[in-house]
Chains A and B, each alone.
Chain A
Amino acid sequence: MTQTPETPHDDDLLAAEMVLGLSSDDDMIAARRRVATERDFADRVVFWQERLTAMTDGIDPVSPPARVKKKLMAQVFPKQRVSILQRLWVWQGVAMASLLFAGYLGVQLLEINTRPGGDQPTVLAAQLVSDTSPLQVLAVVEPIKHEIALRRVSGAANEGRVLELWAILPDQAPVSLGVLPDSETTRILVPAELRSQAAQITLAISDEPVGGSPTGAPTGDVLAAGAMSEL
């Protein structure tokens, strides 16, 4: 560029050129420095940024394929799988009787980790807890059989009452997955209509009369709840 960018007038064009990506390499380096240090220049860049971005108003949204999100999440949260797993192992330590479940998880993860290629099934897990109740339940969705494996780690149904499990999708009414048996562990089939959205499910357990909610919606207190996260 031959002109000296001293006057405000030229600054404005320099800012516009920076936004358009037209600045020479040297100008771009200088402009970046000025954006970081000069309020007036930074404001000019914002001015052009806001206005020129309107050129994208006419661009229609296009849904990206689901695999992009999967790849992105794997890139941004590379250790997430380990950290959730570690948390689960802590739970195992707390509840000694859960060796079976540890075995279940171990096999599950081994199977996933050894599967070649990028098309790995997602394992979803949720910790159902609440501040007001001692009930704690661990849930893992088995991706191939579409089953939720549940383990009650602490707490139990109130005297003369039962625990009922609900699946809640965003902005939708809870769907009953049935009354939980007294046993510590159980498996429940994910209804077919929920399977494609399993990652969005929040599981909740409510306190209900024997036989379960008479209305088809939770009637008692929610004793524990938790959202699915990818293992």
Chain B
Amino acid sequence: MDRQEIENLIARVALKDRAAFDQLYDRVSAKLFGVCLRVLNKRAAAEDAMQDSFVKIWNNADKYNANGLSPMTWLITIARNTSIDRLRARKKGHQDVNTPGFELVSPGPTPEQYAVASSEASRLSGCLDTLEEDRGKAIRGAYLDGETYSDLAERFGVPLNTMRTWLRRGLIALRECMSQ
């Protein structure tokens, strides 16, 4: 994905440029649909989630510029969070997963910071594999399957607090591994 191209399209969408929205859809919908399908595992639900995601993109594109995320991260996060909200929607009183970027005030990182972030990000998968197996699985389960601490505690057959401690240790190890 050409970062600059996607960024330009988002900027034009922020100005309510319909043609740009059309092009952005053509450019990224397959990736976002893949993400929705991965999380929801059902085509009809994934189609709805992706449609919702693009409505959010249209309505919030003006907030993209200030949020400091790379464009694909922002778009994928919207699709992922929208899908997970749907997955969890049956549970009463569920608090939606926030999409960071709709309200961030932080100015964007510099190009150097982006380069660091993207090379660190590419190490994520390798780093997840170096974690104790269950911790890697738990982090993937939370991110890709929307599992909560109680879901994870049940899956791994451990008390809730133990699960929380495991996962946090996993996150700390992950952070160290990625920044090496």
Contact = CB atoms under 8 A, between A and B. Distances in A.
B121 A28 contact: no
A46 B121 contact: no
B6 interface: no
B contacts with A: majority SS = helix
B62 interface: no
Nearest to B148: A22
Contacts of B110: none
Interface stretch (A53-61, A119-127, A175-183, A208-216): A53-61
Interface residues of A, number: 51
With most chain B CB atoms within 10 A of its CB, the pick from A18, A32, A56, A60 is A56
A65 B25 CA distance: 12
Contact of B73 (A39, A53, A59, A64): A53
A16 B104 CA distance: 15
A42 interface: yes
Interface string A80-121: 100000000000000000000000000000000000000000
Nearest to B51: A72
B33 A35 contact: no
Interface string B130-147: 000000000110111010
Contact of B120 (A51, A76, A77): A51
A227 B22 CA distance: 13
Given A35-B104, A56-B80, A227-B19, A62 B51 contact: no
B148 A49 contact: no
A68 B50 contact: yes
A57 B125 contact: yes
B14 interface: no
A12 interface: yes
B contact residues, range: 35 or more
B30 interface: yes
Interface in B43-88: 47, 50-51, 54-55, 58, 67-70, 72-73, 76-77, 80-81, 84
Contacts of A18: 98, 100
Interface of A: 12-13, 16-22, 25, 28-29, 31-32, 35-37, 39, 42-43, 45-47, 49-65, 68-69, 71-73, 75-77, 80, 227, 229
Given A21-B81, A36-B103, 8 more contacts: A35-B105, A45-B104, A49-B73, A50-B73, A52-B124, A59-B35, A61-B31, A62-B37
Question: What are the 7 closest A-B residue pairs judged by CB atoms, nearest first?
Answer: A61-B30, A42-B106, A21-B97, A54-B124, A25-B95, A54-B121, A64-B33
9 contacts: A22-B142, A25-B95, A35-B105, A46-B106, A52-B124, A65-B47, A69-B29, A75-B51, A227-B19
